[in-house]
Amino acid sequence: MINPRTQELKNSRAESWEPKIAAFLCNWCSYAGADLAGTSRREYPPNIRIIRLPCSGRVNPLFVLKCLMDGADGVLIAGCHTGDCHYSEGNYYARRRFAILKKLFEFLGIDPRRFQMAWVSASEGDKWVKVVKELVEEIKKAGPILAKS
Amino acid sequence: MKIGVFICHCGTNISATVDVEKVAQVTSKLAKVHFSTTYLYMCSNPGQELIKKAIKEKGLDRIVVCSCSPSLHEKTFRKCAEEAGINPYLVEIANIREHCSWVHRDKKEATLKAIDIVRLAVAKVSRDKPLVKTYVPIEKRVLIIGGGISGIQSAIDIAFAKYPVTIVERESSIGGRMARFDKTFPTLDCAACILTPKMVTVSQSQYVTIYTCSEIEEVSGHVGDFKVKIRKRARSVDINKCTGCGACYAKCPVKVSAKFDMNLGLRKAIYVPFPQAVPNVPVIDRQNCLWFSAKNASGGTKKACGLCKKICNFGAIDYDMQDEIIEEKFGAIIVATGFTQFDHSVYGEYGYGKYKDVVTGLHFERMASSSGPTGGKIIRPSDGKEARDVVFIQCVGSRDEQKGVPYCSRICCMYTAKHALLLKEHNKDAQAYVFYIDIRAAGKNYEEFVKKVQDEYGAIYLRGRVSRIFEKGGKIIVRGADTLSGAQIEIKADLVVLATGLIARPETVKLAQMLHIPYDQNRLFTEAHPKLAPVETVTSGIFLTGACQSPKDIPDSVATASAASVKALGLLLQDKLEKEPLIAKVDRNLCSGCRACVVACPFNAIDMKEIEDRALKCKRDVAEVVEGVCTGCGNCTVVCRMSAIDIEGFSNRQIMEEIEAL
């Protein structure tokens, strides 16, 4: 079965293309920060699809690869600020994994703009909006992922 | 598999920007979705009944509720599903309000996004597994961090219910900020008269343990079973032997300025901070004590003092006392660490804090106190003369995004009005001038109080900011603008009192990290929900009270203290604690026993266990999760080479399924 996303992309391509971005958010800080952006009615582009996880340390590099393989144009990992992790040190693990994975992506020729990480706390609704806006801009510049492969 | 999708209008909160009917129509065609419907308020009783009815009539075996954030109603809908006879963990929430309808304007775009969000949730729910809640025992004791009015009130409430409670206080006496106040607004009760009975109540309760000169060193564990290390600093006086007779500090030859009195007065090197201190046991300030400075001096040639030890009839003075680490277990923790004052020395216009006669509200409070350093006289700290013309400046540090904090400190308008009144009461000839931006007197009898101060006590209120303060001819010249009359104003004042704002204590970040509770950009602790859970934190079992959460006056601090203690008691009253089963689980067949997860676990929640492998006909080690300790962070899942360890409720298959649905 052809992935509906791939189909969609084939149909649309270039002119009406809008990036689709997968975002892994930790439950305690970033997901709550995104909630706060909602309760404060801060508008941001609709390109992001949020997957809630307990901790940024739960993000398996395989998830990121799978997102890009399945047609997401970009992937974001967002977690608590360093030192503020609900589970003490999950975000430190996430940060190290991110650094290595980013290197791997560079080696593989994947545009590094496609994979980003951000620290968004539960009280940073505004920061979440800023992160999403900037990310969408960057990914727009990077273009559709399948079009290049 | 029959999945039901329930889409909430949330009044118009969702339906105004998301075409909910279209979402229902599109999602009903998704694979495995058997039924899809919308309703005005899904969380309401009729809404929940609708879900239950659909589960029964359509034979649904798992559901997706498309509504607000799971932090609000995930529990509601899990319970609802349970009541309808399906496992509560076969429920997923699609957050189409906070993450969709509230952040987008374009209806078409928002609807498409909502459909995507629901598709992800449907994908996830299709891989959900029925889970069973686990139970853990509860340590039936409460820890209160901070012994101010909030902490004291919480302790009284918990002790009243006959549960043991421990107060950890940094200073040598409980009482906190309120012990330093003279009177309280708007009733002008004497602060000491209403606080000290409470201090005595807690100290005499058999259920209350008070650790003074103590700080939290380390916190581990979780709700029901917090393991806390408390550092009890060496007091150098044995609390059990001391009778509080006061002979030692009468005899002590060293005088240093008293922090409790805002350095307006003097105290001894062995001292009790204020006469009503609880416990009424002195503490030796080792920095200034002659015995310790002689001991620390090279060679020990200086003659040590030791007078307090000689005079004490009870042998309570112990120079060799060491810091002590106490380890205790608690079921719940109440954080009542309070606030600190904004440091006004960043303001050049107020003299960078270099003029002695420019003081803060807390200085004024100590001067007004009849047991304070000036015996209740409002004086000029520079020459000790009684102050006649006093200028009060409000919003120092508060409501200033550039140099201070953006928020309003809530209590300064009221305490300034109180000071203006007290000034007149202490000195009939005195005149108060108050520079304000807005007067915020929202509270019972607050507005009336401010009015009284203006009308009956003749305080002159000037709307405007002060541009400069400088010294001239022994007076403090205050130059400012009265924006109501448009006039430039210059006042020759004897004393200037700054209403400095309330800010978080510098060590809150460290404490927040120890307790794993969030704090905001102003370093104030963040409540679980600003309206519906104002004393809870997102970490279960940890509650907030008082000004550590946001600036509060005494009534609000007391109210939140009682609220927090009810929440803590609610926990202790359980026989055992329900624990979410969303934790790690090991597939023994896959586990190779490499121990990577054991190393990665931040909570030491994974042990190795030897099992008999029948297929291989040998014994081998596999990982085993300690259920009571695992918090379900999922760090172990990433390091597992065999994918043998997984998190229930956030399993690899569930997340992969979601990604495929992107």
- ipTM for the predicted complex comes to 0.91
Contact B102 A63 (CB under 8 A): no
Q: Which residues in chain A touch residue B659, judged by CB atoms under 8 angstroms apart?
A: 22, 51, 63, 66-67, 70, 72
The radius of gyration of chain B's CA atoms, rounded to the nearest angstrom, is 31
* CB-based contact B98 A39, cutoff 8 Å: yes
Residue B630: closest CA among chain A residues belongs to which residue? A87
Distance from CA of A102 to the nearest CA of B (A): 16
Chain B CA closest to residue A44: B103
> Scanning every residue of chain B, which has its alpha carbon at the shortest distance from the alpha carbon of A34?
B99
Residue B291 has pLDDT above 70, yes or no: yes
Taking chain A (149 residues) in runs of 10, the rounded mean pLDDT of each run is: 56 72 95 95 95 96 93 94 87 95 92 94 94 95 71
Interchain contact A95–B (C-beta under 8 A): no
Give the minimum alpha-carbon distance from A12 to chain B in angstroms, rounded to a whole number: 15
Check whether B461 has a pLDDT greater than 50. yes
Residue in chain A nearest B637 by alpha carbon: A58
Closest A-chain CA to B123 = A51
In the predicted structure, residue B132 carries a pLDDT above the cut 80: yes
As given in the structure block, the two tokens for residue B319 are 């120079």
Q: Do B662 and A88 touch (CB under 8 A)?
A: no
User: How many residues are recorded in chain B?
Assistant: 662
Q: List the single best residue of A7, A12, A52, A67 to mutate versus B (max B Cβ within 10 A).
A: A52
Note the residue count of chain A.
149
Largest CA distance in chain A: 46
| Chain A residues touching B600 at Cβ < 8 A | 93
> Residue B257's closest CA among B363, B364, B343, B148?
B363
B103/A49 CB distance under 8 A: no
Looking at residue B525, the DSSP 8-state letter turns out to be B
Instruction: Give the residue from B643, B656, B378, B335 showing the smallest Cα distance to B511.
Output: B335
Query: Span B635-643, mean pLDDT?
Result: 94
Using CA atoms, how far apart are residues A79 and B244, in angstroms rounded to an integer?
Answer: 52
**How much is the average pLDDT of B534-539?**
91
Q: Do A38 and B526 touch (CB under 8 A)?
A: no
Cβ-based contacts of A100 with chain B (< 8 Å):
none
Beta bridge partners of B173: none
Is the CB of A77 inside 8 Å of chain B's CB atoms?
no
Share of chain B above pLDDT 70, in %: 99
List, as one string, the DSSP characters of B87-144.
-TTSEEEEE-IIIIITT---HHHHHHHHHHHHHHHHHHHHT------EEEE----EEE
Shortest CA gap B208–chain A (Å): 30
Chain B residues touching residue A31 (CB < 8 angstroms): 69, 71
Q: How far is B383 from chain A (nearest CA, A)?
A: 47
Inter-chain CB proximity B634 and A35 less than 8 Å: no
Cβ-proximal residues to B77 (8 Å cutoff; 6+ apart), any chain: B42, B43, B48, B51, B63, B65, B67, B91, B93
CA distance A86 to chain B (A): 5
What per-residue confidence (pLDDT) applies to B662?
87
Rounded Cα–Cα distance for residues B537 and B548 (Å): 12
What's the rounded Cα separation, in Å, for the pair B503 and B410? 11
Q: Which of A54-58, B122-126, B327-331, B513-517 has the lowest mean pLDDT?
A: B513-517
Quick one: which of B347, B496, B500 has its CA closest to B434?
B496
Looking at per-residue pLDDT, the higher value among B497 and A5 belongs to B497
Give how far B112 is from chain A: nearest CA, Å. Answer: 9
- The answer to whether residue B428 scores a pLDDT higher than 80 is yes
Of A39, A43, A123, nearest to B521 by CB-CB distance is A123
Instruction: Provide the pLDDT for residue A145.
Output: 84
What distances in angstroms separate CA B508 from CA B216, B518, B565, one per listed residue?
12, 10, 21
Which of A46, A70, A72 is closest, CB to CB, to B113? A46
Structure-token match 């700054």, residue found: B498
The reply to whether A82 touches chain B by the CB within 8 Å rule is no
The answer to whether B103 contacts A42, with C-beta atoms less than 8 Å apart, is yes
Binning pLDDT at 50, 70 and 90, where does residue B622 land? very high
Please, what are the domains in chain A? 21-139 (3.40.50)
Q: What is the pLDDT of residue B603?
A: 85
Chain centroid to CA A70: 14
**Does A93 contact B660 at a Cβ distance shorter than 8 Å?**
no
Kindly report the nearest CA distance between residue A103 and chain B, in angstroms: 18
Task: Tell me whether A130 touches chain B (CB under 8 Å).
Answer: no
B98 to chain A nearest CA, in Å? 4
Q: Give dist(CA B501, CA B340) in Å, integer.
A: 9
Residue of A nearest to B603 (CA): A87
Question: Hey, is the C-beta of A58 within 8 angstroms of any chain B C-beta?
Answer: yes
Q: How many Cα atoms are found within 13 Å in the side-chain-facing hemisphere of B129? A: 16
Round to whole Å and give the CA distance between B79 and B88: 6
Give residue A149's pLDDT. Answer: 42
The answer to whether the CB atoms of A38 and B631 lie below 8 A apart is no
| Rounded CA Rg of chain A | 15
CB-based burial label for B405 (10 Å; 0-12, 13-18, 19+)? buried
The answer, for A50 touching chain B at a CB cutoff of 8 Å, is yes
**B80 with B67: CB under 8 angstroms?**
no
Give the domains, in start order, of chain B with CATH numbers. Answer: 3-133 (3.40.50), 142-233+323-338+505-572 (3.50.50.60), 247-311 (no CATH), 342-503 (3.50.50.60), 584-660 (3.30.70.20)
pLDDT for residue B424 is more than 90: yes
pLDDT band at B302 (very low <50, low <70, confident <90, very high): low
Among A49, A58, A72, the residue with its CB nearest the CB of B634 is A58
Confidence of residue B516 (pLDDT cuts 50, 70, 90): confident
Q: Does A72 touch chain B (CB under 8 A)?
A: yes
Q: Is the dihedral of CA A36, B504, B228, B169 positive or negative?
A: negative
What are the start-end ranges of the H helices in B148-273?
Answer: 149-160, 191-204, 247-251
Reported confidence tier of residue B298, pLDDT bands at 50, 70, 90: low
pLDDT value of residue A83: 82
Q: Verify whether the Cβ–Cβ distance A87 to B97 is below 8 Å.
A: no
Dump pLDDT digits (tens) for B11-40.
Answer: 999 999 999 999 999 999 999 999 999 999
- Short-list B564, B573, B629, B577, CA closest to B145: B564
Do residue B634 and residue A123 have CB atoms under 8 angstroms apart? no
Query: What's phi and psi for A120, nearest 5 deg?
Result: -130, 120
Please give the average per-residue pLDDT across B356-360, as a whole number: 95
For the stretch B142-187, pLDDT in tens is 999 999 999 999 999 999 999 999 999 999 999 999 999 999 999 9
Which ranges constitute the DSSP H helices of B490-545?
A: 508-515
A92 inside 8 A of chain B by CB: no
Given an 8 Å threshold on Cβ–Cβ distance, is B521 in contact with A60? no
Alpha-carbon distance A63 to nearest alpha carbon in chain B (angstroms)? 7
Q: What is the pLDDT of residue A1?
A: 45
In this structure, how many other beta carbons lie within 10 angstroms of the beta carbon of residue B234? 16
Whether B612 and B638 have beta carbons less than 8 Å apart is answered as: no
Q: How confident is the model at residue B531 (pLDDT cuts 50, 70, 90)?
A: confident
Q: Which residues contact B267 (CB under 8 A, 6 or more apart)?
A: B249, B255, B256, B257, B258, B260, B261, B273
Q: Contacts of residue B116 in chain A, CB cutoff 8 Å?
A: 49
Task: Check whether B205 has a pLDDT greater than 80.
Answer: yes
Residue pairs spanning A and B at CB distance below 8 A = 145
Residues of chain A neighbouring B596 (CB-CB closer than 8 A) = none
Q: How far is B74 from chain A (nearest CA, A)?
A: 13
Backbone CA torsion sign across B553, B554, B559, B562: positive
Contacts of A89 in chain B (CB under 8 A): 602, 635
- Mean pLDDT for B601-614 is 90
Give the DSSP letter string of B332-352: EEEE---EEE--GGG-GGGGG
Judge whether residue B470 has pLDDT over 80: yes
Give the whole-angstrom CA distance, residue B558 versus residue B151. Answer: 9
